[in-house]
Amino acid sequence: MTDSNSTSTKAATDAKAFHGEYPRIVVAPPGPKARAIIDQDAEYSSTSYIKEYPLAVSHGEGPVIEDVDGNRYLDFMAGIAVASTGYSHPAVVEAVREAAGRFFHICGTDFYYQTMASLCERLAKMGPGSSKKRVFLSNSGAEAVDGAIKLVRNSTGRTDLIAFQGAFHGRTYGGMSLTSSKAKQRATFGPMIPGVHHVPYPDPYRLETGGREVGAFVLDQIQALFSRHLYPKDVAAIFVEPLLGEGGYVIPPTSFIEGLRALCDEHGILLVFDEIQTGVGRTGQMWAADYFGVEPDVLLTAKGLGSGMPIGAIIARESIMRWSSGSHGSTFGGNPVGCAAALATLDVVEGGLLDNVREMGELMMTGLKRLQEKHTCIGDVRGMGLYIGVEFVKDRATKEPASELVGQLGQLAFTKGLLLLSCGESVIRIAPPLVIDADDVKTGLRIIDECITELTAGVGK
Ligand SMILES: Cc1ncc(COP(=O)(O)O)c(C=O)c1O
């Protein structure tokens, strides 16, 4: 192990969660206490909730969650890519306690406080790119997306928006209108907001392009849209996840992201990166934009920003964020406790965690590629840092999605103490807390291997 390896791993694991005593299944989940919560919830909570598997959380430490019956799970999904610094990171907990002890709320839209001013300055200066920026703070990802729709329309005086098939941008009307991931997320809720046009996402594994390079193929599709259907000067912005998230953890070619930037510049269209899932260190860079070396006009972040406290942000070039006082606001957005959590999270991420993400991401990729060699049901493994998609297929030649297998894998891994989450049609997204160490990677991969072996025994793998 090199010095830099040991430094960053130490930073991530100064106190090994639960003294290293995990995963630990003491009662087959759901145990009796979990069952009681699940039954109560089932009676009174909205029927729209998904509930992937019967996990009822008591508390967490680092990359580990303990359920109410004492089972301990290694977490490879971080509450959907949120628990960036892990569970109960001492620095984040302390910052939240300190802020909560002062005041919960005053409304940042109308009044001032230090943590809000500091967080706006910090995010504005963190880029990506060199232009001066301003920041609007929200409660959630979808609220940031909706705010950005208003901002780009306000800034350009144009109405239309381009988004991508497979994209997920949230559950509000703006976010949902841009979303094209699963039809059931939109079904029965129409009409959507007008002026949204979807084009294919450059999925190197799946998109049929007739031999054309995938990024160039999609850029051509946008050009075709411009010549036949949509006047480019009517387009306010292109909203893109620089790495596709809910739609399948897909990594597009760098040339595509560069091409999008050039296309936007040519037509005066704003480029919005939805980094709600990819931002704040998950890819081993602070922003995926840093990896591509492309500066968007607007960047949206949320999820990992507050380590789980609800906070999001619209980070926009100063030349764009010029809407007038009172034109946009939020009662709770950028609340003092959320701001304190975000500032502490950024301290932790910038204080050595990015190195850990890159090192653990490499270990994870290598291990998953090995599993791909062993199990023919794994069609593709791709990723950046601790943002990795493992795509399962029934047959490598036809690439028919193995959705059922992915469902079974999530359930079986849960019973063995590993938390997984799917995305796309048949992809497991590996998005653990950024503080995992090499032992955690090894343990998680061992359980995934065991599960696949059990599930494919006797079916020709
Ligand atoms: C890329 C992306 N955008 C937007 C959202 C919506 O964020 P939220 O659920 O915080 O509203 C999500 C949530 O999964 C997301 O992954």
191: cis peptide before it, omega within 30°?
yes
Ligand 1 site, residue 272, Cβ cutoff 6 A: no
Report how far ligand 1's centroid is from the alpha carbon of 246 (Å). 9
Report how far ligand 1's centroid is from the alpha carbon of 76 (Å). 18
Question: What is the pLDDT confidence band of residue 459, given thresholds at 50, 70 and 90?
Answer: low
- Is the Cβ–Cβ distance between 439 and 245 less than 8 Å? no
pLDDT, residue 349, reads 98
Q: What is the DSSP letter of 324?
A: P
pLDDT, residue 161, reads 98
Report how far ligand 1's centroid is from the alpha carbon of 28 (Å). 32
Flag whether pLDDT at 9 surpasses 80: no
- Burial of residue 168 (CB within 10 Å: 0-12, 13-18, 19+) is buried
Residue 75, both tokens: 């977490």
Flag whether pLDDT at 4 surpasses 60: no
23: cis peptide before it, omega within 30°?
yes
Question: What is the pLDDT confidence band of residue 14, given thresholds at 50, 70 and 90?
Answer: low
| Helical residues (DSSP H) of 193-253, grouped into ranges | 214-228
Segment 265-276 mean pLDDT: 98
In whole angstroms, what is the distance from residue 251 CA to residue 236 CA?
A: 25
Residue 378, both tokens: 């794994």
In whole angstroms, what is the distance from residue 218 CA to residue 201 CA?
A: 7
Which residue has the CA at smallest separation from atom 4 of ligand 1?
A: 169
Ligand 1 site, residue 142, Cβ cutoff 6 A: yes
Helical (H) or strand (E) element with 120: helix 114-125
- Is the Cβ–Cβ distance between 81 and 386 less than 8 Å? no
Question: What is the pLDDT confidence band of residue 127, given thresholds at 50, 70 and 90?
Answer: confident
pLDDT in tens, 31-54: 999 999 999 999 999 999 999 999
pLDDT in tens, 131-159: 999 999 999 999 999 999 999 999 999 99
pLDDT in tens, 84-116: 999 999 999 999 999 999 999 999 999 999 999
**Which residue among 303, 422, 423 is best mutated to probe the pocket of ligand 1, counting the most ligand atoms within 8 A of its Cβ?**
303
Give the number of other Cβ atoms within 10 Å of residue 212's Cβ. Answer: 12
pLDDT, residue 66, reads 98
Whole-number average pLDDT of the chain? 96
Instruction: Domain 3-88+352-456: give its CATH architecture.
Output: Alpha-Beta Complex (3.90)
Ligand 1 site, residue 302, Cβ cutoff 6 A: yes
pLDDT, residue 168, reads 98
Ligand 1 site, residue 242, Cβ cutoff 6 A: no
Atom of ligand 1 nearest to the CA of 274: 1
C-alpha 75 chain-centroid distance: 15
Which residue has the CA at smallest separation from atom 10 of ligand 1?
A: 141
Instruction: Domain 106-334: give its CATH architecture.
Output: 3-Layer(aba) Sandwich (3.40)
Give the number of other Cβ atoms within 10 Å of residue 217's Cβ. Answer: 17
| Helical residues (DSSP H) of 157-279, grouped into ranges | 173-178, 214-228, 254-267
Sign of the CA dihedral 177, 180, 181, 182?
A: positive
44: left (phi over 0), alpha (psi -120 to 50) or beta: alpha
Q: What residues does each domain of the chain span?
A: 3-88+352-456, 106-334
Helical (H) or strand (E) element with 298: strand 298-301
Task: Give the pTM.
Answer: 0.96
Segment 409-422 mean pLDDT: 98
Which residue has the CA at smallest separation from atom 16 of ligand 1?
A: 277
pLDDT in tens, 163-213: 999 999 999 999 999 999 999 999 999 999 999 999 999 999 999 999 999
In whole angstroms, what is the distance from residue 321 CA to residue 315 CA?
A: 9
**Which residue among 143, 277, 422 is best mutated to probe the pocket of ligand 1, counting the most ligand atoms within 8 A of its Cβ?**
277
pLDDT, residue 6, reads 41
Atom of ligand 1 nearest to the CA of 170: 6
Flag whether pLDDT at 368 surpasses 60: yes
Residue 87, both tokens: 């569970």
Q: How large a percentage of the chain has pLDDT more than 70? A: 96
In whole angstroms, what is the distance from residue 246 CA to residue 268 CA?
A: 29
Which residue has the CA at smallest separation from atom 6 of ligand 1?
A: 170
Atom of ligand 1 nearest to the CA of 143: 11
Atom of ligand 1 nearest to the CA of 142: 11
Amino acid at 412: L
